Structure 1
Amino acid sequence: MLRTETPDESFQRQFELSSALKPGAVDSIASPINVAAPNTLKTEQDIEAKLRTHSFQLAGKFDRRFRTQVRDRSKRPLVVRPVISRYKLHVMSGFHHATREAFQVRLRAASGRITATDKGNTEIFFHATRLSKMKDTSSRLQTKQAPLYTPHVRQNSCKPMLGETLNAPQSLRSASPAVRTLPRHLLYSIFARIGGSGLDTDAFETLRASYRGGFLGKAIAYDNRQTEIPASLIHSLRWHPVRLISFFDRPYYYGAKKKYLDWIASRHLATGRYDLFHSWSGDCLRSLQVAKQRRIPSIVEIPTWHRDGGKKKADWPKTTESANKTRGVPTWKARLLLQRKRFIEEYQLADLLLVLSERAANTFRVRGFPEEKLFYLPRGVDVERFKPGNRPAKFRAVFSGALIKRKGIQHVLEAWHRLNLPDAELWLVGHVHDEAKPFLKQFWRDNIRVVGFARDPENYLNQGTVHVFPSQWEGSAKVTYEAAACALPQITTREAGDVVRDSVEGIIVKPGDVDAIAAALQHLYRHPEIVQQMGRAARRRVVENFTWDHFRTRLLGAYETAMRMAR
């Protein structure tokens, strides 16, 4: 419910605010922020919109001069419609991008259309606030929960960092919404497609935040598979000249594609149209150099860890990791490879680094990166798509992800073979790589089902009892979000991300510890009541902290932080 306020206190009325606005600027904005104006400014009619986030503000003034006064430099109107005034036809425009402050628009009431009860000078302020029956997120997360599994030391120590919205110290939280500073024209580039699965989904949800916020300038990607965001805002590289060398080995071909993406993005930045640049590590060295020259704030997203992994400074490599690969290779071809030096330079040039987990952040801390340069941005999940299903009658462990050694498939198979649990089965959902085949042969049992790659992993996760994912190296594995959304307790590692808290939503083991994996499987096999409690806790944690709405809220905080740092 919203209230209009005028200088005359006797004039107050309540109505529901909905916005037929397209894009729905209010759909992804958390906390008061400037939004594009809806198609009509009516106080007598309901405007339909869904307020998913905290609030937004819109201020308008009516007087006898029909004109717009908007603090937005955008030239492309979101709203263009004729309005008949007393003297002549006028066109409303200039509402394309969100501004840094609330809108102040001066309009004269149009003839034949009621815009306010008083046709004179009336000042109207719109303020919307999300009403929630739920308690504050931080207070919920701070509630003590009894551990459900205690044979080992719990591994839940996480150091809050910039961007942490789960339980952040006051000094690291975002500035007051009244003084938020967001970009006007964002340039986003990614070595992926917009819309699809995996990283393509992340790219789409990332762009939703800026598009619905009204400040998406251009996105550069290798294809566009969605229709919500207009194609005019996406520079698709589906047809590109690098295809001519697609017969090269993958490291050379992919390296060339990333450098071509970087070159295109740098040309866009050189035009001076953008005031914020967001890309991914390995994709943007030249672009960051141009951004630095033009004093454009930049953000680099880190998909996993620091390029040197978890090594301390004394263990840093003294030569590039590709030195051996380039022996005997022509110089022009060797230049297509992405060298370690490229990643290190990107880390230094970026104003802000987005890290997906506490473990990933630590790989930067040991190299001397300051806390203020690290922004915590965990992933999100569609909780409507991934939701609990019917519990199977038998104990069913599910491994979801590519069957490769880095994700610990060999340790899962060995632990399962060692236990030989009766009336139980193991499902393997993911592409079977060659490196996993020897382990499948060595530890095979008849109660193992190899599903292979699945475009609908939710249909397998919600039929499971427990998710097993002892990965050795991840940024923040999306499958841990998906399994938690399906109410599955998980046996995983701290290296897989921060979704699972030890003994609350699952059991944390060390990478490569087959004994610990086997013990955890056996414990959950024997205690279905613990499986049920952990599953409920996992679903609740995701719904309260890791939806795509939470992700976009945090992302807007990252954009705001980068803009403030550039001042």
Structure 2
Amino acid sequence: MRAQTPVLIGHPGAAHFIYEMVAAVEALGFDSRFETGFYYDPQGIWARLLARVPESYRGKIERELKRRSFPSIDARRVLVHPIPELAYVAAARLANHRPAVPKAVMAWRNRYIDSAIAGRIRREKPRLFIGHDTSAIRSFEAAKQNGTLTVLNQMIGHLAVGDRILREEAALHPDWADSLHAGAPQSEIEQCLAEARMADAILSPSDYVTQTLIEVGVAPERIHLQPFGVRVDRFKPPETVRDDGIFRLLYVGQISQRKGLKYVLEAVKQIGDRSIELVLVGGLVGEGRGLTPYEGWYRHVRNVPHHEVEKLFQSADAFVYPSLHEGSALAIFEGMATGLPVITTLNSGSMVRDGIEGKIVPIRSVEAIAEAILTLKNDADLRGALGRAARVRALGFTWGHYRDRLGPVLDGVLGIG
């Protein structure tokens, strides 16, 4: 039955968890295709062009291109619109200090690819379309006209809720404001509300996302909890324990105040213990003025390709992710799989349970973060117990489990029994 069911998945950009979802739908046996911006086929034209690049440059370019590829996806089933996506990538890299520029280009990219997908839905009439928040309104409208069923894959807490939190944060900490992307246009918020209303079903990666959807009026019975996964074969505890007298606290993600970084920086500074090393891994959003008061209290490692990041986790003693607004941070899953106790918030959308795999702290609480850091630093037995429990918890959230949970949801939407 699934093999005779055409499914179209649309997403304009690139994200590891999107590729995992596409691969899961394919592995479930549906007649699926994926329409996106740019995708790298190791056997395709971009690979042939890459072969002509001088060897001294080829490795770096290939490493970047591999971030847009996934071995479990059949590249023959991928439909691309590279120009708008490449325009966005260029804007994000060349004008990152002016966040309004890449944000505007991203909005144009989303509209362009959404319109292209809507055209395909009208022409080909798939049985099911899976779209993503902020980029599916035209596709959903075309689907409703055609009788195509729709699923919204809600990747982050609803924009109406998130924008309120980010506006508050920008007012609290103006030096971080350019990292927040607060002040979403009302038209964009209305679009996200319409996408949630129109979808026949919504996939939510966490309880936090579910809570924000209910807050904006989505009926709970239309929401299906669909936690992300982690590759536990890649992210695993180190074979040997580091013993250099340093307590290394790791964060992996964008360097943005949406992630609550000021609060962990302030906590480390207030503790004032030079044996605590805070490592921030990720690209800087905005000009970084908010980091200035904390120079000397953290180490910044810029972007690391996803396929090289596991060694950073293995070098840490604990993982911290005090996000204000999230979907479900993959980095937390990766920290758990590596056997790290986690300090995080409910808004981070993780599967961490307070006192079992880590410490859950309120958002914006320097005091709670500092207390959690000191507790983990000073109690090696507790740190070890929480880390072992985190690894066990992660073993129940692999991408195989994600696929197994997704199948019945899609079957239910389609009426496959």
Shorter-chain TM range is 0.7 to 0.9
Which residue of the partner structure matches residue 141 of structure 1?
none
Which residue of the partner structure matches residue 339 of structure 1?
188
Kept in 2: contact 1:397–1:467 (CA 8 A): yes
Aligned-partner Cα distance in 2 for 1:373–1:276: 16
Which residue of the partner structure matches residue 237 of structure 1?
81
The one-letter code sitting in structure 1 at the alignment partner of 2:194 is E
Q: Within the alignment, does 1:275 sit opposite 2:275 as a pair?
A: no
Q: Within the alignment, does 1:189 sit opposite 2:10 as a pair?
A: yes
| TM-score where L is the length of structure 1 | 0.59
**Aligned residues, how many?**
358
Cα distance, 1:422 vs structure 2: 4.9
Describe how 1:387-426 pairs up with structure 2 within 5 A: 387-389=236-238, 390-393=240-243, 394-426=246-278
| TM-score where L is the length of structure 2 | 0.79
Kept in 2: contact 1:417–1:445 (CA 8 A): no
Which of the residues 293, 298, 312 maps onto 1:442?
A: 293
- Residue aligned with 2:374, SS: helix
Cα distance, 1:387 vs structure 2: 0.8
Aligned-partner Cα distance in 1 for 2:86–2:353: 44
Aligned-partner Cα distance in 1 for 2:379–2:242: 15
Which residue of the partner structure matches residue 124 of structure 1?
none
Per the alignment, do residues 433 and 230 of structure 1 end up closer, same or farther by CA in structure 2, a change over 3 Å counting?
closer
Aligned-partner Cα distance in 1 for 2:84–2:22: 22
Cα distance, 1:272 vs structure 2: 4.0
The one-letter code sitting in structure 2 at the alignment partner of 1:517 is I
Aligned-partner Cα distance in 2 for 1:462–1:424: 16
Which residue of the partner structure matches residue 366 of structure 1?
215
Cα distance, 1:290 vs structure 2: 1.5
Per the alignment, do residues 267 and 459 of structure 1 end up closer, same or farther by CA in structure 2, a change over 3 Å counting?
same
Larger radius of gyration: 1
Cα distance, 1:311 vs structure 2: 9.2
- Residue aligned with 1:535, SS: helix
Higher strand share: 1
Aligned-partner Cα distance in 2 for 1:459–1:286: 42
Which of the residues 357, 382, 385 maps onto 2:231?
A: 382
Kept in 2: contact 1:297–1:563 (CA 8 A): yes
Which residue of the partner structure matches residue 486 of structure 1?
338
> What's the C-alpha RMSD, in Å, of the aligned pairs?
2.7
Cα distance, 1:474 vs structure 2: 0.5
Q: Within the alignment, does 1:322 sit opposite 2:185 as a pair?
A: yes
Aligned-partner Cα distance in 2 for 1:525–1:242: 44
Structure 1 residue runs without a partner (length 5+): 1-71, 73-96, 100-183, 194-198, 313-319, 324-337
Which residue of the partner structure matches residue 52 of structure 1?
none
Higher RCO (CA 8 Å, separation ≥ 6 residues): 2
Aligned-partner Cα distance in 1 for 2:102–2:274: 43
- Residue aligned with 1:488, SS: coil
Aligned-partner Cα distance in 1 for 2:369–2:84: 46
Cα distance, 1:463 vs structure 2: 1.0
Per the alignment, do residues 246 and 508 of structure 1 end up closer, same or farther by CA in structure 2, a change over 3 Å counting?
closer
Kept in 2: contact 1:185–1:216 (CA 8 A): yes
Kept in 1: contact 2:228–2:402 (CA 8 A): yes
The one-letter code sitting in structure 2 at the alignment partner of 1:426 is L
Per the alignment, do residues 418 and 243 of structure 1 end up closer, same or farther by CA in structure 2, a change over 3 Å counting?
closer
The one-letter code sitting in structure 2 at the alignment partner of 1:238 is P
Aligned-partner Cα distance in 2 for 1:426–1:210: 39
Which residue of the partner structure matches residue 35 of structure 2?
220
Q: Within the alignment, does 1:563 sit opposite 2:414 as a pair?
A: yes
Cα distance, 1:246 vs structure 2: 7.5
Per the alignment, do residues 242 and 429 of structure 1 end up closer, same or farther by CA in structure 2, a change over 3 Å counting?
closer
Q: What does the per-residue CA deviation read over 1:41-69, in whole Å, with 9 as the maximum and x for residues that have no partner?
A: xxxxxxxxxxxxxxxxxxxxxxxxxxxxx
